Structure 1
Amino acid sequence: MGKDSKPKSKGKQPAAGASEDGASKGAGKGKGGKSADGLGTCTYVKARHILCEKQGKINEAYKKLQDGWLSNGDKVPPAEFAKVAAEYSECPSGKKGGDLGWFPRGKMAGPFQDVAFSTPIGVTSAPFKSTHGYHIILSEGRKN
């Protein structure tokens, strides 16, 4: 979807808490169908993440992100997210600033995929648990 493109609405209003581009967390998780907010319809997501085995450590990383970027809400610049990922992440991707690159729908398991495909571009997710541990995701892009 191009910069000037707007998702087509089918009579639905954007959900409360929608971002400037009309996207909101948790909405439009359909597989392939069009949604009013444009989330859940893409085939690929580009993301960074922080993975920690212990909940206390992921909460510490999240607090560090929040403390540094309170005025931006949940929007942390990728370079700053990368610094925190390099410091806290226990995943090998942490050495690359948590960069996972582009990945298709169906590659990541359960909650990780759900959060990655429902977090608006430029937004940092709240910490969440998966089978691999605790994560924070920064969504960097979407494409079909």
Structure 2
Amino acid sequence: MGKDAKGGGKGKGKQAGGSEDGGGAKGKGKGGKAADGLGTCTYVKARHILCEKQGKINEAYKKLQDGWLSNGDKVPPAEFAKIAAEYSECPSGKKGGDLGWFPRGKMAGPFQEVAFNTVVGATSPPFKSTHGYHIILAEGRKN
């Protein structure tokens, strides 16, 4: 994953609930975003699924929906990893889509926006970047 020069898409959408911040700042930050750490953290830990074709990412998302999201549940990282290994076309797919911790500014465009604005434990809806179509699972955030 590198920097995106541009990218349109649905970076923000319905996401599973939760307010765990993984050690991020509480009560501080821009625009009143407080306890969840959204918009205030410096690092995020994430997994993702990357597909070149929208149809394939939609299949992966449907699998996540059928197993957890349709019931309002959060997708366990181990289960997300299985689907990433099956569907992701990124080399990280072999590691269950694990991108580890990365700082704000390393990923650009919609990928960074979605990664830093997805609640810990939640899964983003599919979105497009210049690299293809993604789904992100936010695992943690810290300063």
Which TM-score band applies after superposition, normalised by the shorter structure? 0.7 to 0.9
Gaps of 5+ in 1: 1-16, 24-31
* Separation (CA, whole Å) in 2 of partners of 1:139 and 1:80: 14
Aligned equivalent of 2:19: 21
Higher relative CO (Cα under 8 Å, sequence separation at least 6) belongs to 2
Does the Cα contact within 8 Å between 1:53 and 1:133 map onto a contact in 2?
Answer: yes
User: CA shift at 1:109, angstroms?
Assistant: 1.4
CA 1:82–1:109 in 2, change beyond 3 Å: closer, same or farther? same
* Separation (CA, whole Å) in 1 of partners of 2:38 and 2:100: 18
Amino acid in structure 2 at the alignment position of 1:98: G
Amino acid in structure 2 at the alignment position of 1:55: Q
SS at match of 1:120: coil
Q: TM-score under structure 1 normalisation?
A: 0.76
> Over the residues paired in the alignment, what is the CA RMSD in angstroms?
2.1
SS at match of 1:64: helix
Deviations 1:26-64 (A, max 9, x none): xxxxxx636235311000000000000000000000000
Which structure has the bigger radius of gyration? 1
User: CA shift at 1:71, angstroms?
Assistant: 5.6
Deviations 1:81-135 (A, max 9, x none): 0000000000000000000000000000100000000000000000000010000
- The alignment of Structure 1 onto Structure 2 pairs a total of residues equal to 120
* Separation (CA, whole Å) in 1 of partners of 2:75 and 2:16: 17
User: CA shift at 1:74, angstroms?
Assistant: 5.6
Identical aligned pairs, as a percentage?
86
Does the Cα contact within 8 Å between 1:66 and 1:74 map onto a contact in 2?
Answer: no
Aligned equivalent of 2:134: 135
The reply on whether 1:41 has 2:40 as its aligned counterpart is: yes
Does the Cα contact within 8 Å between 2:49 and 2:84 map onto a contact in 1?
Answer: yes
SS at match of 1:42: coil
Gaps of 5+ in 2: 1-14, 22-28
Does the Cα contact within 8 Å between 1:74 and 1:125 map onto a contact in 2?
Answer: no
SS at match of 2:114: helix
Q: TM-score under structure 2 normalisation?
A: 0.77
CA 1:53–1:64 in 2, change beyond 3 Å: closer, same or farther? same
